């Protein structure tokens, strides 16, 4: 990989050759993949990119840590739509607002970007089995992307994972271990099993290539905005790998001269589980928190990527915002009604954060904002049904329909 220099520990600075099964530093720190930006600049131009037919995350090959000979993974991951939302912008009082719907990935979450990368690297490593622990989406995306590539998977999920996500896992043929305990305990068991059996490790806190996959969301946003930097990009945060990847992609583009300024990040967490945001707010080291939110994908009491995430928020001069479950569910409805985008609770937490910051007057009519929806609402229908109530239920009878409309003051003409 001529365009990749090495993996560099974010804690102690030690560097490691970028082998396919690279994990963490001897000091325990997570590695960051460092590129030769001179080389990338010489081989990638905006024009070259614009002419490229590939409509997936693999269109950004020069900025991805894969060998030239590595094939794109089979499922179409990435190139999700970026919708401008003028009506929602007006409701919130923003100058311009875009929604990036990453729920449209093949297994319906942004995690597909990391899992496709894991599958590509596992193939480079010659592995035939991949494993991970996950709050749900990393698992279902790994299972799907691996199945398409003919690899088998062992997946550890906490027993609270929503049924939709577990159904995906079982359908994709994963061996699923539902751990009766927290995400923390789930992660620990997966770690022991991976050590014992030597499976390829798709845990985002350990495998430094995964945030390189996730960063493609930033590359796409900027290309879709014709390289015009928005003031803010909002995203939900659990382990912190996603926001770190987002920031990495933006810094890559800045380093190769594709954008001339960097946006500020908005880190949105659930009020019931916000160890990273709390650390930014208090200026103290992060401490574990209970996992007290219905946004299961970001219910992460012990964030595995705290170092990279906190660095991303700080470096970008970012904002942090914590939202209650009620605010999350209100944002789910608002996005559904004004944009036709249905996100799972963790998927719309970024948008809930944007709404809250607008209402508090922290951001407003001078600002342009991109809000990333990180997962599809069909993943967790139980909470959506609870929050939206019941439909009109009547027999096939016009009189009953008229009566029902009258009762609910619905006027039709
Ligand atoms: C995993 C996930 C996140 C958060 O990503 P982290 O890397 O854990 O911070 C947000 N939303 C959804 C839908 C997710 O699946
Ligand atoms: Zn180190």
- Determine the distance separating the centroid of ligand 1 and the alpha carbon of 48, expressed in angstroms: 32
Best residue among 107, 109, 140 to mutate for probing ligand 1's pocket (most ligand atoms within 8 Å of CB) is 109
CA distance 103 to 342: 8
pLDDT score, position 184: 85
pLDDT score, position 160: 85
Q: Does 373 sit in the ligand 1 pocket, CB within 6 Å? A: no
- Determine the distance separating the centroid of ligand 1 and the alpha carbon of 406, expressed in angstroms: 43
List of the chain residues with pLDDT < 70: none
pLDDT score, position 214: 98
- Determine the distance separating the centroid of ligand 1 and the alpha carbon of 346, expressed in angstroms: 7
pLDDT score, position 251: 98
172, 182, 217, 62 alpha-carbon torsion, rounded to 10°: -80
Token pair of 232, please? 């803010």
Q: Hey, whose CA ends up nearest to atom 14 of ligand 1? A: 297
CA distance 53 to 377: 30
pLDDT score, position 169: 92
12, 16, 20, 22 alpha-carbon torsion, rounded to 10°: -30
- Determine the distance separating the centroid of ligand 1 and the alpha carbon of 176, expressed in angstroms: 20
Atom of ligand 1 nearest to the CA of 243: 9
- Determine the distance separating the centroid of ligand 1 and the alpha carbon of 111, expressed in angstroms: 7
pLDDT score, position 153: 96
Q: From residue 352, how far is each of 136, 246, 267, 301, 349 by CA, in Å?
A: 21, 19, 11, 20, 5
pLDDT score, position 1: 87
pTM of the full predicted structure? 0.95
Q: Does 241 sit in the ligand 1 pocket, CB within 6 Å? A: yes
pLDDT score, position 172: 96
Q: Does 85 sit in the ligand 1 pocket, CB within 6 Å? A: no
Atom of ligand 1 nearest to the CA of 304: 8
pLDDT score, position 8: 97
Atom of ligand 1 nearest to the CA of 379: 13
Q: Does 210 sit in the ligand 1 pocket, CB within 6 Å? A: no
Contact call for residues 39 and 2 (beta carbons, < 8 A): yes
Distant-in-sequence, close-in-space partners of 30: CB < 8 Å, separation ≥ 6:
9, 10, 11, 24, 205, 206, 208, 305, 307, 308
């Amino acid at each position: 990989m001529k365009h990749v220099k090495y993996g560099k520990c974010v804690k102690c600075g030690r560097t490691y050759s970028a082998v396919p099964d690279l994990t963490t530093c001897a000091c325990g720190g997570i590695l960051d993949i460092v590129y030769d930006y001179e080389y990338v600049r010489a081989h990638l131009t905006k024009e070259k990119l614009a002419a490229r037919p590939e409509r997936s995350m693999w269109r950004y090959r020069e900025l991805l840590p894969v060998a030239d000979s590595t094939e794109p993974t089979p499922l179409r991951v990435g190139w999700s739509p970026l919708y401008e939302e003028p009506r929602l912008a007006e409701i919130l009082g923003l100058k311009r607002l875009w929604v990036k719907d990453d729920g449209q990935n093949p297994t319906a979450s942004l995690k597909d970007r990391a899992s496709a990368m894991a599958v590509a690297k596992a193939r480079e490593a010659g592995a035939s089995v991949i494993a991970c622990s996950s709050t749900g989406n990393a698992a279902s995306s790994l299972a799907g992307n691996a199945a398409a590539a003919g690899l088998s998977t062992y997946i550890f999920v906490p027993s609270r994972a929503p049924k939709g996500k577990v159904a995906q896992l079982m359908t994709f043929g994963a061996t699923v271990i539902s751990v009766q305990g927290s995400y923390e305990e789930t992660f620990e068991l997966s770690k022991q099993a991976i050590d014992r059996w030597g499976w390829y490790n798709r845990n985002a806190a350990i495998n430094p290539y995964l945030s390189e996959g996730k960063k493609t969301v930033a590359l796409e946003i900027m290309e879709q905005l014709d390289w015009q930097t928005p003031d803010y990009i909002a995203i939900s945060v659990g382990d912190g790998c996603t926001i770190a990847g987002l920031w990495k992609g933006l810094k890559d583009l800045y380093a190769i001269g594709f954008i001339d300024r960097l946006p500020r990040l908005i880190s949105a967490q659930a009020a019931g589980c916000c160890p990273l945001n709390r650390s930014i707010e208090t200026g103290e080291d992060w401490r574990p928190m209970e996992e007290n939110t219905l946004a299961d994908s970001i219910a992460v009491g012990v964030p595995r990527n705290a170092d990279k995430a906190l660095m991303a928020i700080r470096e970008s001069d970012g904002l942090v915002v914590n939202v209650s479950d009620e605010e999350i569910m209100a944002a789910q409805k608002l996005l559904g009604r004004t944009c036709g985008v249905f996100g799972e609770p963790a998927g719309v937490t970024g948008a809930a954060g944007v709404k809250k910051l607008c209402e508090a007057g922290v951001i407003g009519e001078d600002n342009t904002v991109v809000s990333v929806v990180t997962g599809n609402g069909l993943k967790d229908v139980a909470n959506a049904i609870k929050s939206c109530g019941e439909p009109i239920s009547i027999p096939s009878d016009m009189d009953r329909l008229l009566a029902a409309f009258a009762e609910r003051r619905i006027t039709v003409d």
